[in-house]
Structure 1
Amino acid sequence: MRTSARSHTRSFALLALPLAGALALTGCAGSDDAKPAETSSTAVTLVVHDSFVDGEAFAAQASKATGYDVTVMTAGDGGELANKLVLTKGAPIADAFFGIDNAFASRLIENDVVEQVPTDTLPERALKIATELDPAAAKAGTVPLVPIDIGATCVNIDTAWFAKQGIEEPATFEDLADAKYKDLAVLLDPTASSTGASFMIATIAAFGEDGFTDYWKSLEANGARIVQGWSEAYNTEFTGVNDAGSRPIVVSYSTSPAFTVNDDETASNTRALLDTCSSQTEYAGVLAGSANPEGAQAVVEYLLSTEFQAEIADQMYMYPVDEAVELPASWAKFAPLPADDQSHDLSSEEIQAGLDGWLRTLGDAVGL
């Protein structure tokens, strides 16, 4: 039985494109069970990307936990959110934010968009990631960005399709360009999807700035289809979740196979190719110039709480940064993270310096 990926909606559109006009922002008011003892304001606004958990429910939970009156607003995908925060520097649209990933992290730091926050409340893995991002700040006991969740984009395959067809499963980047897999892959346009851009970054890490376009050309020559967004690729084109689909190879997430399991969760008909992955970290932080920095800090700390961290796997398809949080039983078997030596990664600084040029170069090479 094929199971559709429940709430599997982590596609981010319009990556790295300039904002055309103001972004529409929607708010979700939360409850206010207890007032902070010492603050000039009890209101706190958290701005997030549009793949965040249910904003209204989060606002109510965060309000109860922190004692602040929390409101959640959305600002498009991760790239749009980063652009909006930079453009409103000095007059921020919110007090805190969540949803900037490692592709855009350095943009916020370089533009002085964020306030430093103390490291003493960070779980061990969060502290390690934050230190790698800004070692000097961490040494002083603060960090500009707080890791909240981690994950990886990877090529996924429909293992049931390959078994039925009697075709050996692909395993590597190079396999996807092999003639035996002609017309079987669906990719994401990296100029229109951050999931696609993450895959592009993986290919740059694997083949270099001088070689990644030739690799993409080889995929195109082998019949790979490039579509605009994750939902079209995964839910429409991918045979692993759609019997009417025609492509058993798709760019998705390392966690996706946990959501294509059978009813008793003993087997999944899909698998992530862990040698094709690129790591992702999503950050939160306090915005410089916040009207309520104390409240913003409290909300960021709530994002690290066991209560919220326990919701991340089911609701956002990512791993909670706190390793002490229990994961769904099926994740250990069907949604493992790639090992460090499997991931094809670049630093946030490298991505920030090269992203626009890579997108233009690839667009010219394969006609995006």
Structure 2
Amino acid sequence: MTPMHALRALTTAGLALALTSATACSVGGGTTAESTGSGAGRTVVVATHDSWAMSKDVLKQFTAKTGYTVKIEPNGDAGQLTNKLVLTKGSPIADMTYGIDNTFASRAVDEGILADYTPKDLPGSVADYALPDAREAARLTPVDFGDVCVNVDDTWFAKHHLTPPASLDDLTRPAYKDLFVTPGASSSSPGLAFLLATVARYGDAWPSYWTRLMGNGTKITSGWSDAYEVDFTAGGGGGDRPIVLSYASSPPFTIPKGATKPTTSALLDTCFRQVEYAGVLAGAKNPEGARAFIDFMEQKSFQEALPENMYVFPVDRQATLPADWARYAEVAPKPFTVAPAEVAKNRDTWLREWSDVTTR
């Protein structure tokens, strides 16, 4: 399992308006524009989540093409990032943002922190990931996506002669009692995505589903790393739970050395799709550079670097995937979705109700 999977499970204290201090790092041509004396106008400051990771070679291509250098400002996960941008919108901390996802997009647009911008030359498949609201789509450009799904330890199930679960309903069956572990919805991004999957699947009856889930011995942890790396039987920590909430992209990272097949699999009928976006911040000091970098993020060199650097799928379906991804990192054919406007309207209420059910 990769360090980036752990980063993508950083706590979402931002859901309660908690903020983290930003630690800046500069990438691109090896130096910041300021350090070369070329002036702030040649630097593009990107406010992003802590899971940002991109090859310096790829970013050097951007610098070579445009003359701009990229400076990254991490700000927690998607919830914390959105909250900080809202609280600083009168004096934006960056020129653009990357990492606001479809669970926070409506809030970002409603709060007026973004300027209109849509790249002219977008891959045709990008339209499939655009936000449904025209006003939101004009301000946030899809960059990548990932499916948060239940994963199972196939080796454990084969050893115990037990058929693995295949659906959300299955997780409540007696055969899987005390076998499932998931990060909490109020403390992790994938945990929130799983809650939204159950909202999409069960509608107003989702609290009843969670009551059955908890009654079947589901364990809740604060974050993904605890669930996967400690409790999951295939996570390397000697855990005792062979069912875990993770990602559709997780199985390729469980291929043993010298083997060709993962020891785990993702249950593609349990997935919630997260889409991540980039946008120009209103009042940015360098909007031209921000627009140039968003254009670059849609180009094939950046799109093809996403899987191995940030462990997400590119929105350009023509981008070539790594061999293991192409074979084993399947995407959900019909992922669960909840309209961003519905998430924005109900998030706090759903989280309160979820907390009530899971702490009884």
TM score, norm. by length of structure 1: 0.90
CA distance in 2, matches of 1:330, 1:274: 17
CA deviation after TM superposition for structure 1 residue 6, in Å: 5.7
CA distance in 2, matches of 1:90, 1:353: 24
Q: Is the 8 A contact 2:145 2:314 kept in 1?
A: yes
CA deviation after TM superposition for structure 1 residue 169, in Å: 1.0
1:181-213 Cα distance to aligned partner (Å, 9 max, x none): 11111011100001000000000111113x111
- The residue identity in structure 1 corresponding to 2:82 is A
More displaced stretch, 115-124 vs 272-281: 115-124
Counterpart of 1:129 in structure 2 is: 129
CA distance in 1, matches of 2:29, 2:156: 48
CA deviation after TM superposition for structure 1 residue 307, in Å: 1.9
1:275-330 Cα distance to aligned partner (Å, 9 max, x none): 10001100011000000100110111122222221211112221011111110112
SS of structure 2 residue aligned to 1:190: coil
Closer, same or farther in 2 for the Cα pair 1:332/1:69, shift >3 Å?
A: closer
| 1:175-194 correspondence to structure 2 within 5 Å | 175-194=170-189
CA deviation after TM superposition for structure 1 residue 257, in Å: 0.6
1:214 paired with 2:212, answer: no
Counterpart of 1:44 in structure 2 is: 44
CA root-mean-square deviation? 2.4
Closer, same or farther in 2 for the Cα pair 1:58/1:81, shift >3 Å?
A: farther
Q: Is the 8 A contact 1:100 1:283 kept in 2?
A: yes
Counterpart of 2:146 in structure 1 is: 151
1:289 paired with 2:288, answer: no
Sequence identity, in percent? 40
Counterpart of 1:28 in structure 2 is: 26
Q: Is the 8 A contact 1:18 1:83 kept in 2?
A: no
More displaced stretch, 110-119 vs 281-290: 110-119
Q: Is the 8 A contact 1:213 1:365 kept in 2?
A: yes
CA distance in 1, matches of 2:212, 2:218: 9
Q: Is the 8 A contact 1:48 1:73 kept in 2?
A: yes
SS of structure 2 residue aligned to 1:226: strand
| 1:19-168 correspondence to structure 2 within 5 Å | 19-20=17-18, 23-28=21-26, 30-31=28-29, 41-54=41-54, 60-130=60-130, 132-135=131-134, 143-168=138-163
From the two aligned structures, give the one with the greater helix fraction: 2
User: Which of 287, 296, 300 is matched with 1:302 structurally?
Assistant: 296
Counterpart of 1:348 in structure 2 is: 340
Q: Is the 8 A contact 1:59 1:72 kept in 2?
A: no
User: Which of 206, 231, 237 is matched with 2:225 structurally?
Assistant: 231
Closer, same or farther in 2 for the Cα pair 1:137/1:251, shift >3 Å?
A: closer
Moved over 4 A (4+): 54-61
CA distance in 2, matches of 1:241, 1:22: 28
Q: Is the 8 A contact 2:230 2:237 kept in 1?
A: no
Q: Is the 8 A contact 1:172 1:275 kept in 2?
A: yes
CA distance in 2, matches of 1:21, 1:335: 33
CA deviation after TM superposition for structure 1 residue 119, in Å: 4.0
Structure 2 residue runs without a partner (length 5+): 34-38
Counterpart of 2:36 in structure 1 is: none
SS of structure 2 residue aligned to 1:217: helix
| 1:240-255 correspondence to structure 2 within 5 Å | 240-242=234-236, 244-255=238-249
Q: Is the 8 A contact 1:265 1:330 kept in 2?
A: no
- The residue identity in structure 2 corresponding to 1:24 is A
Paired positions, count: 354
Closer, same or farther in 2 for the Cα pair 1:96/1:234, shift >3 Å?
A: same
CA deviation after TM superposition for structure 1 residue 108, in Å: 1.2
CA deviation after TM superposition for structure 1 residue 16, in Å: 4.5
User: Which of 256, 259, 262 is matched with 1:262 structurally?
Assistant: 256
Structure 1 residue runs without a partner (length 5+): none
1:81-121 Cα distance to aligned partner (Å, 9 max, x none): 01111111131100011111100011111112111113422
